[in-house]
Amino acid sequence: MAAMTAYKYQAQALMRDYLLADPLVPYTSVLIGIVLCKMAYDFTRILSSFYFKGYTLLTKIQRIEWNNSAHAIFITAVSLYLVMSTDLFSDRVKGPITFRYSIISTSALGVSVGYFITDLAMIFWLYPSLGGMEYVLHHTVSLVAIAYTMLSGEGQFYTYMVLISETTTPEINLRWFLDTAGLKKSSAYLVNGILMFVAWLVARIFLFMYVFYHIYLHYGQIMQMHAFGYYLTFVVPSVLFVMNTMWFMKILKGVMKTLAKWP
């Protein structure tokens, strides 16, 4: 009991000291994320105007959707690297996994926060053209959770595990690209649909089940976190898992419908 209380105070001190000690790391990375989001959008727009003849015929809303893939590729690569290729969150390292962080992990989360701020602003600005309330809920929950773990250093492992699910975004965007380009009946559309189904099943269903199992195994360490971080660890994955399951059922119906019509 005394050890748990000590870890709780340690977590509170960590958040206070980290914010006061080096505020440039999280806040600068957020600004960089916003700038990079705009640069990636402009870069994709320039490339698309050269290599896709139909790009100039798209509406403003369609162009915004067309240019939005860079963050998913970036954060998926960083998440896989930190979780699978480094010892930051390895069981071989002593100490609670819930309090581990590094400059790289914090900076990458800051870039992600910048993206979610930019994307959420676009959703509100063009609402509901870019998505309804489910997208607002998804982005808001994600933004709060990522911002907290970036600033406090708590629970970054679980944040990155959830962010691996962004691996499904390129497939979703490619599906939309092919549909917009009039290639809905192409083989590429069918193959991408199957890949999207498999990626969603692995990264947004099975992976979340593993996260819940990992939380169960490390519940003692999670209890040492600040109360806000403690509740985020349970609430955020649960909310996202429910939404992922609902979307997965729609994807499953879409794949079955496409396969049934395929010659």
As a whole-number percent, the residues of the chain with pLDDT over 90 amount to 48
Instruction: Report if residue 71 sits inside a domain.
Output: yes
C-alpha Rg value of the chain to the nearest Å: 20
Range of the domain at 164: 25-52+59-260
Instruction: Report if residue 246 sits inside a domain.
Output: yes
Instruction: Report if residue 127 sits inside a domain.
Output: yes
Least trusted range by pLDDT, from 56-70, 84-98, 123-137, 235-249: 56-70
d(CA 238, CA 221): 19
For the segment 151-165, the average pLDDT, to the nearest whole number, is 95
User: What was the pLDDT predicted at 19?
Assistant: 44
Instruction: Report if residue 6 sits inside a domain.
Output: no
What is the per-residue pLDDT across 166-202, written as a single tens digit (0 to 9) for each? 999 888 888 888 887 788 888 888 899 899 999 999 9
Rounded to two decimals, the pTM is 0.84
Instruction: Report if residue 165 sits inside a domain.
Output: yes
Domain count within the chain: 1
For the segment 154-167, the average pLDDT, to the nearest whole number, is 95
Please indicate whether residue 57 or residue 166 has the higher confidence score (pLDDT): 166
Instruction: Report if residue 14 sits inside a domain.
Output: no
Model confidence at 245, pLDDT cuts 50, 70, 90, reads very high
Mean pLDDT over each residue of the chain, to the nearest integer: 85
User: What was the pLDDT predicted at 94?
Assistant: 87
Per-position DSSP letters for 174-212, written without gaps between them? HHHHHHHTT-TTSHHHHHHHHHHHHHHIIIIIIHHHHHH
The HSE-up count of residue 227 (CA atoms within 13 Å, CB side) is: 0
User: Which span out of 9-18, 67-76, 201-210 was modeled with the highest average pLDDT?
Assistant: 201-210
What is the per-residue pLDDT across 2-51, written as a single tens digit (0 to 9) for each? 555 555 545 555 544 544 346 677 888 999 999 988 888 888 778 777 77
